[in-house]
Structure 1
Amino acid sequence: MQYVTAHPDGVLAIDAGYGREGLAAIHLVIHRGRAAIVDTGTPASVPRVFSALAAAGIAPENVDWVMLTHIHLDHAAGAGPLMAALPAARLLVHPRGVRHLADPQRLWSANAEVYGSERLVEMYGEPVPVPAERIVAAEEGLRVALGERSFRVLDTPGHTRHHIAIWDETAHACFVGDTFGVSYRELDRDGHAFVFPSTMPSEFDPGALHRSIERIASLRPEAIYLGHFSRVTGVDRIAADLHRLIDAQVAIACAARGHGVKRHVEILAGLEQLVCEEVERQGAPLSEEEVLELLRLDLDMNAQGLGMWMDKHPEAVSA
Structure 2
Amino acid sequence: MVTIIDTGFGERPDFCAAYLLVESGRAALIDCGTLHSVPRMLAALDAAGVARDAVDHLIVTHVHLDHAGGAGALLRELPSARLVVHPRGAPHMVDPARLIASARQVYGDDLFDLAYGGLVPAPAARVVEAADGAVIDLAGRPLLLAHTPGHALHHLSVWDARTRSWFSGDIFGISYREFDVDGRPFAIPTTSPVQFDPAQMKASVQRMLAESPEACFATHYGRVADVARVGAGLIEQVDAMVAIARALDDAPDRHDVLKRELTALYVERARRHGVADAEVQVPALLEMDIELNAQGLAVWLERERRQAPQAV
TM-score, normalised to structure 1, is 0.94
Structure 1 unpaired stretches of 5+: 1-9
Q: Which residue of 2 aligns with 1:154?
A: 146
Q: Which residue of 2 aligns with 1:114?
A: 106
What pairs with 1:99-248 in structure 2 (closer than 5 Å)?
99-248=91-240
Displacement, 1:47? Answer: 1.2
Q: In 2, Cα distance between the equivalents of 1:79 and 1:257?
A: 38
Check conservation: 2:195, 2:300, Cα contact below 8 A: yes
Displacement, 1:315? Answer: 8.1
Q: Which residue of 1 aligns with 2:290?
A: 299
Q: Which residue of 1 aligns with 2:29?
A: 37
Check conservation: 2:174, 2:190, Cα contact below 8 A: yes
Check conservation: 1:254, 1:317, Cα contact below 8 A: no
Displacement, 1:15? Answer: 0.8
Q: In 2, Cα distance between the equivalents of 1:186 and 1:314?
A: 38
Answer with 279-288 or 33-42: which moved more.
279-288
Displacement, 1:171? Answer: 2.2
Check conservation: 2:249, 2:301, Cα contact below 8 A: no
Could you say what secondary structure the match of 1:192 adopts? coil
Displacement, 1:272? Answer: 1.0
Q: In 2, Cα distance between the equivalents of 1:54 and 1:184?
A: 27
Answer with 114-123 or 159-168: which moved more.
114-123
Q: Which amino acid aligns with 1:23?
A: F
Displacement, 1:257? Answer: 4.5
Displacement, 1:317? Answer: 9.2
Q: Which residue of 2 aligns with 1:268?
A: 259
Q: Which amino acid aligns with 1:90?
A: R
* Mapped pair 1:60 → 2:62: no
Q: For 1:67-119, what per-residue CA distance to the aligned partner results, in whole angstroms no more than 9, with x for missing partners?
A: 00000000011101111110010000000011100011111111111001221
Q: In 1, Cα distance between the equivalents of 2:151 and 2:214?
A: 23
Check conservation: 1:70, 1:93, Cα contact below 8 A: yes
TM-score, normalised to structure 2, is 0.96
Q: Which amino acid aligns with 1:290?
A: Q
Pairing partner for 1:249 from 227, 241, 245: 241
* Mapped pair 1:78 → 2:70: yes
Structure 2 unpaired stretches of 5+: none
Could you say what secondary structure the match of 2:89 adopts? helix
Q: Which residue of 2 aligns with 1:308?
A: 299
Could you say what secondary structure the match of 1:151 adopts? strand
